[in-house]
Structures are given as structure tokens and as C-alpha cells.
Amino acid sequence: MTICYDPTEAREDTRAPQELLRYSQSLGNLESNTGSDFLVTPHKVALGTVNNIRPHQLQLEQWCKDGVLVQRKSGRDMLQSIPKLNEIQARMSVWCGNPILLVTDLSFGEGEVWCDGEIVDGWSVESVRGALLAWQVVRGGSVILLPHDGHILETMQQIEHLVCQAYTEPVKLVNKHQHQSLNLVDQNWLTTRRAWPKGISQTQLTNLAMHLATKLDTEPSLINALELARSPQVTDVDGWGAKSRDKVIDWVGMESIRQQLKVKLGTVSDPADLVKLQELGFDIIVDV
């Protein structure tokens, strides 16, 4: 089990408590990928940085799917972030079904909002509470209010315990929506932007689809498109060259996204079995 933090949490101006940083481990690009400050996962995290390549993204997806993401806001920083909360939670929800907003040094008096022990002018109790309720009720997350940063480590350890308990026990203690993995037979792959690395334009994808349409009898799937994009033949498509092909190969993380299966002639009696294997994504090579 692991608690990871984005390196920005260790900066002087936004520093999380030192005891929490010592207990956790740094994970570069966590916030740029997920919008969160912390990741709590039951898995061991072997990466130091999550790069924009498909193998790293798949690992991050698994860690988030089985864990939770946490955004930390404190005092006036919380108030200044209210207009951005919708965007922050939307990004976190792509990876985790129950994103947590952890707020410290924020409290309410008789019609007054208090931050860091002082009354804050210009903010009403209703507007701030409304923002916190929207995170929970409208967008489906959790909010934890703590009096000060000294309680963060204990709270994060409790979250860590619950996440691991939910992962190992048959009855899940955390009710989450499952993050949807990329569907390689998705017919709407032209609009599935998560399937493609940065630098591949919509024009290139359109040209790829037009080229595939001349080669296939059926509507080209995402796996068809990725296979062509990483092959030497992709240079026949307008707008595609060696650099674009290399981007796709690095993104997919391997030279081929299909598997080859060598079949000894005569060992498969029913041709329908070969068809089923092909439907599962195997390239059949007949060995005589």
C-alpha cells in the first residue's frame, strides 16, 4: 500500500506537513495527469514519474482504479480555488470514482467564514458550504474538513487503511465507479482522444480512417488504426511520417499490439476455432 504525492506538495509555498512527506513517496506528474495532489493505492508504486507513454498511463490507471485521489486545500487557498473546483474534480473523476477534497484551516461561525484563525471578508457561509456540497452531492465525491494541517497524516493513514481493506475484502467499503479502460474495438476511435499520444492531429486521424476504409470491408476499429499507425506502411497515409509512427510505438509501449499464434497444419480440425482466435486478436500463422 502506498501514499504518493505530487512534487509540488513539497514546494516552500505549498508545502504539505513534513511528517506526511516523509511517510509518502513522490510521484512526478501526478497532478498534471489526474488533477490531484495525492494518490492512495493498495499497490506498490515503482515509478518515480508518470510519463506520457501508454505503459505508465496503464499503471496509473490501475493504481487509481483500486485507490482514491485526494486534492488538498488549505485556508484562503481553498477559497481562491472555489471557481476551479468543478474542473479539478472533473479531471480527478476520469481516474477515480470518489475523489476526495481535503480542506484544512477553514471553519464557519455565525454567518462568518474563518481561515487561519481570522474572519475572511467577502465570502458568505452559504457560498462556501455550497461549493463543498456541490463536490459531494452534484459531482459525487467526498469532503474532509480538518482544523489544521497537523491532522493530515493521521487522516491520510486512515484513508490508506480503508482503501487497502476495501481492496482485499469481498465486501467493498468504498463505493466507486470503475474507471473505463480503453476499448480497442471502439468504433468511435476518431473521437477517443485518450487512445493517441500528443502530437497526433485530428487531420492525421481522419486521413488514417480514409486509408483504412479503402483496405477493409468493415468499419475500421481502434486496434486496426493503431496497428497501421505503428507499421512502416503508415507513411503511405497523407500527413504521416516516421516521427508520427515513432510516437505511436512509444505510446503503445511495444512494437505490436497484436499477438501471433503459430498453428501446426492439421492440429485444428474446426476452421471456426481459427476464426474465434482471430476475433480475440491473434494473427494466425500456419506452420506446415
C-alpha cell at 166: 476495501
Whether 66 maps to a domain, the answer reads yes
How far is the CA of 155 from the CAs of 35, 136, 162, in angstroms? 20, 18, 11
Which residue segment(s) compose the domain that 44 sits in?
2-168
Same domain, 245 and 212: yes
- CA dist 1 and 94 (Å) reads 22
CA-based R_g, the chain, Å: 24
- CA dist 31 and 40 (Å) reads 13
Same domain, 44 and 94: yes
Q: Taking the model in full, what pTM does it have? A: 0.61
Same domain, 11 and 103: yes
Whether 182 maps to a domain, the answer reads no
Same domain, 210 and 241: yes
For residue 26, the cross-strand partners are 5
- CA dist 237 and 199 (Å) reads 16
Same domain, 42 and 147: yes
Same domain, 50 and 98: yes
Which distant-in-sequence residues (6+ apart) come within 8 Å of 240 by Cβ?
A: 204, 207, 208, 229, 234
Same domain, 57 and 147: yes
Mean pLDDT, the chain cut into blocks of 10 residues (288 residues total): 91 81 95 95 93 91 94 93 91 91 91 88 90 87 92 95 85 45 50 72 87 81 79 90 85 49 48 56 49
Same domain, 32 and 92: yes
Same domain, 101 and 242: no
Domain of residue 21, CATH code: 3.40.50.10130
Q: How many Cα atoms sit within 13 Å of 26 on the Cβ side?
A: 12
- CA dist 205 and 228 (Å) reads 11
Residue 259, pLDDT score: 44
Same domain, 156 and 222: no
Whether 92 maps to a domain, the answer reads yes
Whether 179 maps to a domain, the answer reads no
Same domain, 63 and 149: yes
- CA dist 120 and 102 (Å) reads 20
Number of domains in the chain: 3
C-alpha cell at 101: 477534497
Match 482503501 to its residue by C-alpha cell: 163
Same domain, 13 and 105: yes
